Amino acid sequence: MVFNPSSMLASLEEQSVRDQIFLNECLDRFGPAAEELAEAPDSMQPIMDKTLQDAGPEGFRVMTNFTPAEFDVLWGIIELPMQARWNEGRGAKTKTSARDAVFIALAVLKHYQSWEKHALDFGFKAPTFQKLVQRTLDFTTYPYALYATDVKFQPCERPGGRFNEKKAWFSGKHKLYGLKLEASVSPQRYCVDVSESHPGATSDLTIMRSRLDVHDRALTKFVNELSITDNGEQSGTYGTMWAMLVDMGYYGINEHIRGIHPKCRPAGGYLEADDLERNQRISSDRVLVENFFGRVCLLWKIAYSTFCWGHEMFSDIQRITFALTNFHVSMMPLRAADGTHYRSVLARCERMSYEMTERKRQQQLRARRRRLERMALELRS
């Protein structure tokens, strides 16, 4: 084939004209859309950006308990494990970024409604939304230290099954079906240990006895701490162990571990003035546990509402809320108002128990009234 420069140049010029005509047509039809797209920011967190744009920083805080700046600090702590979790596995990847997923999870933990309601709010299908949140919540770690310990009760839906199976979840103290977990709070007001969940019928002392190895490791003094002067209660028996503060529900725990609890009033008797003063000191030091529980419930509705997402999820979700509360406490220390809020949560449980008992009583009255009416009709006939 003979090389023909003139023919080649003519062909290239024609192609150039066709290309320019095509580009002009594109500009006429799609120019405005292209300009709008070019001006729009290339965001990796469209849900968060939309929230900030429409509701501002205050709306962001109301949705998640954290300001945008505080969220950035939290993200800096969890970014590496979260990104690793987000990118693992095969198959199609979610279009929701890890940062948006954390934002969504915080909103769900705080406001706690049905999966369907939350999914509708964020524009997802319910099954997809549930998987997204569960995947986001599937990581947490906890350290250990010296502490005061108590058990937190949370109502749950009545489980299915036979009566003997269901009654394991019924708390005789609260008169409700529920779940319990044991938590320990350090003098620095941070939660340092959270147990797995236990059925509501399990006593506080039984839960602690099942975890004696955990407490023994946490309270044992290090070698360099053995020289520190310790003349406190039970120091003679447990000289190599720090103490933990508990309430009267743990009476007898000092047979196994160095537990300090208030003294019970003897039957038909009274406590001495020294014992009353000692009980007051213990209670004033233990109040930090109630304050922490109150902060958890104040921040996260899922921490006190009737739990209906399945018992297998309860422990992991509670650990997440406690870890997030630790982060919140680092920015805003615990206050007496937190303890007041926790007492209102306990009062809510009491009200639920009262209303349930009252409903049963009214049902029994109606059944008895109907029975008497039937008997009266039979006598007349």
Q: What confidence tens digit (pLDDT) does each residue in 175-233 have?
A: 888 999 999 998 888 888 899 999 888 888 888 888 889 888 888 888 888 888 777 78
- Give the Cα-Cα-Cα angle 75, 79, 81 (nearest 5 degrees): 135
Give the C-alpha distances (Å, rounded to integers) separating 255 from 251, 258, 262: 9, 8, 15
At 146, is the pLDDT very low, low, confident or very high (cuts 50, 70, 90)?
Answer: low
299 & 352 share domain:
yes
Q: What are the φ/ψ torsions at residue 181 (nearest 5 degrees)? A: -145, 150
The contacts of residue 297 (CB under 8 Å, 6+ apart) are 303, 304, 341, 342, 345
- Say how far apart CA 164 and CA 220 lie, in whole Å: 40
164 is in which domain, residue-wise?
148-358
Residue 41 lies in a domain: no
95 & 158 share domain:
no
132 & 153 share domain:
no
164 & 271 share domain:
yes
Neighbours of 172 (CB within 10 A): 10
Name the DSSP class of 289.
Answer: H
How many separate domains does the chain show?
2
User: Sign of the CA dihedral 111, 116, 117, 122?
Assistant: positive
167 & 283 share domain:
yes
- Give the Cα-Cα-Cα angle 141, 138, 112 (nearest 5 degrees): 105
At 142, is the pLDDT very low, low, confident or very high (cuts 50, 70, 90)?
Answer: very low
252 & 282 share domain:
yes
Last residue in a domain, options 89, 114, 136 = 136
- Say how far apart CA 211 and CA 215 lie, in whole Å: 7
- Say how far apart CA 280 and CA 301 lie, in whole Å: 31
Residue 18 lies in a domain: no
Q: Please tell me the least confidently modeled range out of 3-7, 249-253, 309-313, 357-361.
A: 3-7
Residue 335 lies in a domain: yes
Contact 204, 153 (CB under 8 A): no
Six-digit token string for 174: 């609260």
**Which amino acid, 191?**
C
Please state whether beta strands 170-171 and 148-155 pair in parallel, antiparallel, or not at all (unpaired). unpaired
129 & 182 share domain:
no
Q: What confidence tens digit (pLDDT) does each residue in 222-261 have?
A: 888 888 877 778 888 888 888 888 888 888 888 888 888 8
- Give the predicted TM-score (pTM) of the model: 0.79
Of the candidates 193, 195, 175, which has an alpha carbon nearest to the alpha carbon of residue 184? 193
Q: What is the mean pLDDT of residues 130-143?
A: 66
Residue 19 lies in a domain: no
Q: What confidence tens digit (pLDDT) does each residue in 19-54 have?
A: 788 777 777 777 777 676 555 555 578 889 888 989
Residue 30 lies in a domain: no
Of the candidates 91, 185, 102, 92, which has an alpha carbon nearest to the alpha carbon of residue 136? 102
128 & 157 share domain:
no
Residue 8 lies in a domain: no
Residue 119 lies in a domain: yes
257 & 286 share domain:
yes
DSSP labels, 144-158: --S-EEEEEEEEBPP
Residue 20 lies in a domain: no
At residue 220, the pLDDT reads: 87
245 & 339 share domain:
yes
258 & 153 share domain:
yes
Six-digit token string for 166: 């269901």
124 & 156 share domain:
no
Last residue in a domain, options 136, 165, 194 = 136
Bridge partners of 192? Answer: none
Token pair 């571990």 is found at 257
